[in-house]
Amino acid sequence: MKPITELVKDLADRHGRERRSLLPILQGVVEQEKYLSEFSMLTISRELNIPVTEVYGTATFYSFLECKKMGKYIIRICKTITCSMKGEKQILLAIEDMLKIKVGETTQDGKFTLLETNCLGFCHKAPAMLINNEVYTELTPEKIREILTSYLNDKIIGGEHVN
């Protein structure tokens, strides 16, 4: 894991130092750190010569650019209509039961954060969720236990992939 100053510099070398390079750089920092701290934003502000307030205003617009400390694995459950109809509530309960956290919270060991999100584009296989960048569909409480256990044991089951 690179220190932030080095990470930001590398990202800027790759994406550029213009205003339009901001989003890919923010994404790059979130990819490694899972969230954007004050220090990260100040570093990006200096590297790109963009006012730090603007960096903050831009980052907070996007749901996937969290500005609060996150766990190692961010679970995002879809709460839009079809997933809601197909059992999102039961899925939430199963997760809350297993990890002992509510929506918006992070487990004590810093491993999981539970969030809700909007339509993931898998409505025909609802309910669906993201864990970091992996998509899991056709969820049931049993499947949830299986998936989360795999994460706990660091032997992660893969999600939906391209054919």
* List of residues contacting other proteins (CB under 8 A): 18-24, 26-27, 30, 38, 41-42, 45-46, 51-54, 56-58, 60-65, 67, 79-82, 84-85, 117-126, 130, 133-135, 159-163
Residue among 10 and 109 whose Cβ is closer to other proteins: 10
Residue among 45 and 113 whose Cβ is closer to other proteins: 45
Nearest distance, CB of residue 122 and other proteins, angstroms: 6
Nearest distance, CB of residue 56 and other proteins, angstroms: 5
Nearest distance, CB of residue 8 and other proteins, angstroms: 15
The long-range contacts involving 25-31, CB below 8 angstroms and separated by at least 24 positions, are 26/55, 26/58, 26/59, 26/62, 26/65, 27/64, 27/65, 29/4, 30/64, 30/65, 30/66
Residue among 82 and 98 whose Cβ is closer to other proteins: 82
Nearest distance, CB of residue 28 and other proteins, angstroms: 10
From CA 30, how far away is CA 76, in angstroms rounded?
Answer: 15
